[in-house]
DNA sequence: GCCGTTTTCGGCCCGACTGTTTTCAGTCG
């Protein structure tokens, strides 16, 4: 079993406990343990083997026992007894916004409704409104929610959500009443999928802003509307919350709306012990109404005796303790990026020429880029034959000589074929400055076969890095299965870097695996995988994932000057 | 169920909005 399997059982326990009305702190304990397991940078079973389960944050004697039972039986006593009393279909009902554990329990006990289909029927036939506290409007909302869930997931990939958020932000920023505006929530923290978009605006006169917001063409319906908060659903299904505050509390409000919930709970618990109170309106001394900090996030942390904690680390995973000990990692900064290691041109499936890509990258302030078009196995992308690759490299060198102010390196994204051979003549690969090795076919090989395939590709000594190393598509397919630890180990040994691919829909490696690879000593390289000049901006998603992984600049090859970048994986150069 | 800068028991964040209510429970973030 992998960590996700353990996390799923723990989460089901927490959710079923909610519905059964367990003590809410006990529920939180299971939620915390779920998150710890989910984001653990190593295999939980390795921790078990060492007998170190109780060392993990949020896991005590009781949950440690549960986990050991889960390892043996796939379930544990408490999980089993909850499932005997409740129906697993109820878990789906928790995804319906506006329906919480109390109402689900009510509906279950009074109407025997135990899954989404039955819930839909109960709402359609007007039986929900017969229950205390529920009315016609609730029925209507429940039906709309069920339809939304049926249309496809409740979370949106980060890149898509951020593009939407930036467009809305720019429209509201143009209003004369807007003083400061920011995208908050999980987009700011860089979570790879987003539940909803949070926008924060400071203004002395918020009413027109809420009014304009409700009337934007993207908006399909207004869900909630008050003096300081408006929630809407866009035509694309994404929910957007807008909060307005006075400018003097912008910092504390931004902190609050950035989250995460877990970070807040820990921070506020800690503040309470210091005789302080934290809310979106600032940090307060007990029994006082004037905040001692509210203007900026830096002030807020300072008032609590902590250094600034970057949004990407605010997940309640021990960052507050690390901050208190002044042991937070110094995270990679966007302006430390000197180059982009992965992009395509019109030679294969890109939309812009070598020169156009280079000029756009130069405008972004880069010192170098690598042109990495596809090899011939990727037919749909018009992959290059050896002849075409040879000519393409010549054109890249020619462009490098012509375009001022940026180095353009020769490279390729070569397919690692089914049997581990590389889809290109080795002498041409040896000639290239940078070789990304990727898998684009036969995703469903058995894990040991896939591991062997990757190892064989790497042992050619020709790969600079592994491109999108897991192959997962956000909200789409899972990655291919293989022995990740063995591959990382080989990467370290053979001097092959692992890519952190920032292209929309991938974010691969994810933050957890990137952290794991880094801990094991592997080099990481960021790539936008751009297929157009606009796509170069996707490198910022890779930067954000690297930050979530707690990576410093030294861990990232893109922060090196171009010569050092090249030598990192090719000591012979 | 977890945890410790009030430490092995007693506490565990805080505020806004809605719908169904006659003052508030439930939900959300």
Question: In whole angstroms, how far apart are CA A431 and each of A163, A268, A370, A403, A409?
Answer: 38, 57, 14, 21, 11
State the SS3 of A157-200. Answer: EHHHHHHHHHHHHHHHHCCCCCCEEEECHHHHHCCCEECCEEEE
Tokens of A378: 């990727």
Supply the pLDDT for residue A156: 86
Are residue A139 and residue A168 in the same domain, yes or no? no
Single residue among A245, A272, A287 that ends a domain in this structure = A245
- Strand B contact at CB of residue A198, distance < 7 A: yes
Residue lying closest to nucleotide B25, CA to C1'? A133
Both A58 and A204 in a single domain? Answer: no
Decide: CB of A18 under 7 A of nucleic strand B.
Answer: no
Question: With a 7 Å cutoff on the CB, does A259 touch strand B?
Answer: yes
As given in the structure block, the two tokens for residue A315 are 């997940």
Q: Specify the pLDDT at position A573.
A: 61
Same domain, A421 and A546: yes
For residues A487 and A501, membership in a common domain is answered with yes
Estimate in Å the CA A514 to C1' B9 gap, whole number.
Answer: 41
A126-155 pLDDT, tens digit per residue, is 888 888 888 888 898 888 888 888 876 668
> Which residues, in sequence order, are CB contacts of A442 under 8 Å at separation 6+?
A418
My answer on whether A355 and A309 are in the same domain is no
Same domain, A72 and A34: yes
Residue ranges for chain A with pLDDT beneath 70: 152-154, 572-573
Residues A300 and A339 grouped into a single domain: no
Would you give the DSSP letter of residue A321?
H
d(CA A150, CA A442): 30
- Asked if residue A255 is part of any domain, the answer here is no
Indicate if CB(A136) is under 7 A from strand B.
yes
**CB-CB neighbours of A261 under 10 Å:** 11
Residues A124 and A231 in one domain: no
Strand B atom within 7 Å of A60 CB? yes
pLDDT, position A257: 92
Give me the pLDDT at residue A4, please. Answer: 87
**Per-residue model confidence (pLDDT) at position A243:** 92
Question: Which nucleotide lies closest to A305 by the C1' atom and the CA atom?
Answer: B5
CA angle, A319 then A322 then A326, to 5°: 130
Which DSSP category does A508 fall into?
B
**For position A364, which CATH number holds?**
3.20.20.140
With residue A484 as reference, give the H or E element that holds it.
helix A484-494
Q: Could you tell me if residue A329 is inside a domain? A: no
Percent of chain A with pLDDT over 70: 99
Structural domain including A306 reads 262-324
Q: Quickly list H helices, A52-131.
A: 61-73, 77-85, 89-93, 101-111, 116-124
Considering its fold, how many domains does chain A have in total? 4
pLDDT for res A496:
96
Whole-number Å distance between alpha carbons of A378 and A464: 20
Q: Do residues A206 and A114 both lie within one domain?
A: no
Query: What confidence score (pLDDT) does residue A478 get?
Result: 80
Can you tell me which residue has the tokens 């490299």? A393
Does one domain contain both A146 and A204? no
Q: Is the CB of A138 under 7 A from strand B?
A: yes
The 10s digit of each residue's pLDDT in A98-125 is 888 888 988 998 898 988 899 999 999 8
Task: Tell the residue number behind the tokens 């909630």, with chain if given.
Answer: A224
CATH of the domain at A294: 3.30.210.10
The overall average pLDDT reported for chain A is 91
Residues A422 and A444 grouped into a single domain: yes
Among A245, A273, A297, the domain-final residue is A245
């Amino acid at each position: 079993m992998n960590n996700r399997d353990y996390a799923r059982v723990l989460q089901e326990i927490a959710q079923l406990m909610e519905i059964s009305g367990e003590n809410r702190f006990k529920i939180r304990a299971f939620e915390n343990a779920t998150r710890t397991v989910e984001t653990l940078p190593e295999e939980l079973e390795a921790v078990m083997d060492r007998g170190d389960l109780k060392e993990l944050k949020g896991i005590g004697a009781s949950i440690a026992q549960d986990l050991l039972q889960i390892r043996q039986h796939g379930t544990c006593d408490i999980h089993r007894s909850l499932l005997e009393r409740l129906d697993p279909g109820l878990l789906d009902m928790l995804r319906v916004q506006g329906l919480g554990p109390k109402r689900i329990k009510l509906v279950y006990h009074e109407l025997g409704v135990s899954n989404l289909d039955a819930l839909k029927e109960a709402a359609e036939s007007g039986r929900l409104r017969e229950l205390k506290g529920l009315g016609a409007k609730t029925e209507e909302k429940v039906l709309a929610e069920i339809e939304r869930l049926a249309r496809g997931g409740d979370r949106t990939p980060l890149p898509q959500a951020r593009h939407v958020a930036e467009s809305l932000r720019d429209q509201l920023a143009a209003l004369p009443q807007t003083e400061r505006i920011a995208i908050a929530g999980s987009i700011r923290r860089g979570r790879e999928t987003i539940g909803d978009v949070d926008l924060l605006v400071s203004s002395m006169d918020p009413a027109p802003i809420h009014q304009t917001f409700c009337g934007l063409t993207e908006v399909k319906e207004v869900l909630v509307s008050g003096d300081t908060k408006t929630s809407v659903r866009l035509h694309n299904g994404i929910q957007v919350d807008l909060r307005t505050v006075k400018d003097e509390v912008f910092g504390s409000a931004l902190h609050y709306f950035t989250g995460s919930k877990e970070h807040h709970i820990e921070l506020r618990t800690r503040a309470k012990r210091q005789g302080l109170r934290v809310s979106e309106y600032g940090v307060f001394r007990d029994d006082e109404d004037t905040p001692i900090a509210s203007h900026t996030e830096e002030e807020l942390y300072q008032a609590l005796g902590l250094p600034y904690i970057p949004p990407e680390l605010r997940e309640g995973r021990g960052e507050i303790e690390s901050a208190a000990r002044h042991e937070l990692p110094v995270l990679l900064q966007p302006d430390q990026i000197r180059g982009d290691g992965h992009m395509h041109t019109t030679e294969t499936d890109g939309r812009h020429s070598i020169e156009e890509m280079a000029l756009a990258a130069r405008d972004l302030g880069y010192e170098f880029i690598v042109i990495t078009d596809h090899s011939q196995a990727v037919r749909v992308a018009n992959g290059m034959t050896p002849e075409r690759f040879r000519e393409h490299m010549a054109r890249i060198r020619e462009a490098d000589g012509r375009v001022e102010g940026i180095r353009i390196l020769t490279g390729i994204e070569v397919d690692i074929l089914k049997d581990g051979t590389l889809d290109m003549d080795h002498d041409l690969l040896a000639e290239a400055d940078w070789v990304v090795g990727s898998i684009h076919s036969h995703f469903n090989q058995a894990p040991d076969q896939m591991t062997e395939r990757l190892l064989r590709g790497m042992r050619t000594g020709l790969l600079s890095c592994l491109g999108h190393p897991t192959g997962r598509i956000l909200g789409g397919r899972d990655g291919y299965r293989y022995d990740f630890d063995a591959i990382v180990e080989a990467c370290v040994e053979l001097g092959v870097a692992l890519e952190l691919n920032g292209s929309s829909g991938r974010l691969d490696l994810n933050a957890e695996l990137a952290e794991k690879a880094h801990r094991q000593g592997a080099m990481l390289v960021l790539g936008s995988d751009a297929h157009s000049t606009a796509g170069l901006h996707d490198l910022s998603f890779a930067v954000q994932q690297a930050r979530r992984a707690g990576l410093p600049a030294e861990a990232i090859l893109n922060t090196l000057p171009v010569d050092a970048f090249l030598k990192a994986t090719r000591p012979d150069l």
